[in-house]
Amino acid sequence: MAEVNQQGCLFVGEGVVLKGNFDVPDIASISGTVEGELTAKQVLIEATGIVRGKLTGESIDIRGEVNEYISSTRSLIIRSTGKVTGSINYSEIEIEKGGHLHGDLHNLNPHS
Amino acid sequence: MSIFSKNSNSKENDEPVAHEPEEMEAQATPVEGEFAPAVTAPVEQTMRTEFANRPNVLNTKPSIISEGFTFEGTITSDGVLNVSGTVRGKITAKSVLIDTSGKVDGELNSEQLVIKGQLHGDVSCEDLNVGPMAHVDGNINYKYIHIQRGGKVSGKFIKN
């Protein structure tokens, strides 16, 4: 879907290393490495993707690796190849079997 | 034969056959007969209610804390434990299932753990499966984890 309309999207290819803070209005698809803060509406961390730093977004889908911090206001999915360490804030979470989770988990809206 | 079979057989001839073991089972276990058919092998008809001193085989019948039943204390089992009621205390078992109506408050050690209900406390397990309606809160040590969408989990998660 992102390939059709790439406005407001960030694609980091495999082997690419980005350092800094990134504010992405739409989709951020990461196959390379991001060091720093990344904020996007929708985040896809592909199997080769690595984020070292803070990751915030509405929907976050992780097949790669994320360290330090994640905050997801809508849905957080850790796929079977995904590896997450650090502090995690979510409103809805799903972890596929084989997914790696190490850290503190907080529910943003623990009611009901 | 489980009592679920009575729903599936539409043939008139099968009906009396299906009912016979059901009645036998109800006599043998008036309290837990309702739960037994879903989980038991068809061969055995009686239900044991002890929570300790279970044989070292996983294929034996599960120990059941039924809905509406509250247990306080320590449960130790080499087999399967199904919790539909409430447990406050420590649980050690090979396999634990906390059903949708089940609540556990305390320490829990098991190899296989399926949570559909509520759990508060420190958990140590190998295989953890959290259902979509589950509430889990505490320090979780695990080897393999699976959280289904909708499951509410919070606390410290440590992968061994």
pLDDT, tens only, A81-107: 999 999 999 999 999 998 999 999 999
**B81 within some domain:** yes
pLDDT, position B42: 45
CA distance B88 to B67: 14
Mean pLDDT, range B140-152, rounded to an integer:
93
**B147 within some domain:** yes
pLDDT, position B55: 47
Do residues B83 and B145 both lie within one domain?
yes
The domain tally of chain B equals: 2
Q: Residue A95: which of B145, B152, B156 has the nearest Cβ?
A: B145
pLDDT digits (tens, 9 = 90+) for B76-132: 999 999 999 999 999 999 999 999 999 999 999 999 999 999 999 999 999 999 999
**B22 within some domain:** yes
Do residues B31 and B83 both lie within one domain?
no
**B57 within some domain:** no
Mean pLDDT, range B22-33, rounded to an integer:
45
**B50 within some domain:** no
**B86 within some domain:** yes
**B58 within some domain:** no
pLDDT, position A38: 95
Residue B19, domain extent: 5-39
pLDDT, position A43: 95
pTM of the model: 0.72
**ipTM given for this complex:** 0.84
For B150, which residue in chain A has the nearest alpha carbon? A92
Distances (CA, A) of B139 to B78, B101, B119: 23, 22, 11
**B44 within some domain:** no
CA distance B39 to B58: 12
Q: How far is B126 from chain A (nearest CA, A)?
A: 12
Do residues B26 and B78 both lie within one domain?
no
pLDDT, position B59: 64
pLDDT, position A60: 96
Q: Residue A92: which of B149, B156, B159 has the nearest Cβ?
A: B149
* Contact: B156, A107; criterion CB under 8 Å: no
Q: Residue A102: which of B144, B147, B159 has the nearest Cβ?
A: B159
Spell out which residues of chain B touch residue A75, defining contact as CB-CB under 8 Å: 149
Q: How far is A39 from chain B (nearest CA, A)?
A: 23
- Average pLDDT over chain B reads 75
Specify the residue for token string 């044989």.
Answer: B55
pLDDT digits (tens, 9 = 90+) for A18-38: 999 999 999 999 999 999 999
Do residues B149 and B88 both lie within one domain?
yes
Distances (CA, A) of B25 to A73, A92, B2, B19, B59: 51, 43, 9, 10, 19
Spell out which residues of chain B touch residue A108, defining contact as CB-CB under 8 Å: none
CA distance B79 to B83: 13
Mean pLDDT, range B17-27, rounded to an integer:
46
pLDDT digits (tens, 9 = 90+) for A53-82: 999 999 999 999 999 999 999 999 999 999
* Contact: B156, A99; criterion CB under 8 Å: no
pLDDT, position B29: 44
For A109, which residue in chain B has the nearest alpha carbon? B152
